[in-house]
Amino acid sequence: MTSSLVLASASPFRRALLANAGLAFSARAAHVDERALERPLEEAGASPSDVALALAEAKAKEVSRHFDDALVIGSDQTMSLGARVYHKPKDMAEAAEHLLSLSGRTHSLNSAIVLVRNGDVLWRHVSTAHMTVRPLDRAFVERHLKRVGEKALSSVGAYQLEGEGIQLFEKIDGDYFTILGLPMLPLLEKLRQLGSIDA
């Protein structure tokens, strides 16, 4: 093992994924203004995948400043439907609007990982999952959101696939880890190549 691993995230889901895979790591939240980074990228026509990569890189580089020689894992996820890029709903009305806009359509979850050591990018990767929402009517959406409550505001799509959100879908193309925001298989492969975990 050549260096310590640091996850640049406060996400309990991402931490759990690494812990469940048996990795020894520390975690530190990255202090970056995501909206300020996103805005010029989106205005310049950057793809949702490029935006996710830029955010993941910014997080990894910010945390890397605090850990000399550590291998820092930055990650981020964008959700897009055509040209529209979604952000976390600010209230339940916006959560309902998100879900109704996805009704009967296929959107994309773009999950990026960037590995950084001493401020230098060693690797970038994006995995995309395609999520097809079944046709939904407003009455169902309102009942669904009443059941799940404020949890709907914690994710960009206003759903948690690992919970009742699974009822919203008719088809999913992509792996579970990409959907959760940390594509584990390509990450683990790269960590083995770098000698950072047991191969």
| Residue pLDDT, tens place only, 92-132 | 999 999 999 999 999 999 999 999 999 999 999 999 999 99
76 classed as catalytic: yes
33, 50, 69, 76: which is the annotated catalytic residue? Answer: 76
Q: Mind listing the pLDDT tens digit for each residue in 145-169?
A: 999 999 999 888 999 888 899 999 9
Q: How far apart are CA 163 and CA 167, in angstroms?
A: 9
Model pTM score: 0.90
Of 9, 22, 55, the closest CA to residue 191 belongs to 22
One CATH from 3.50.50.60, 3.30.870.10, 3.90.950.10, 3.40.50.300 for 5-193: 3.90.950.10
How many CA atoms within 13 Å lie on the side-chain side of 22? 6
Could you state, in order of their start, the residue ranges of all structural domains in the chain? Answer: 5-193
What is the average pLDDT across 13-35?
Answer: 94
CB 70, CB 132: distance < 8 Å? no
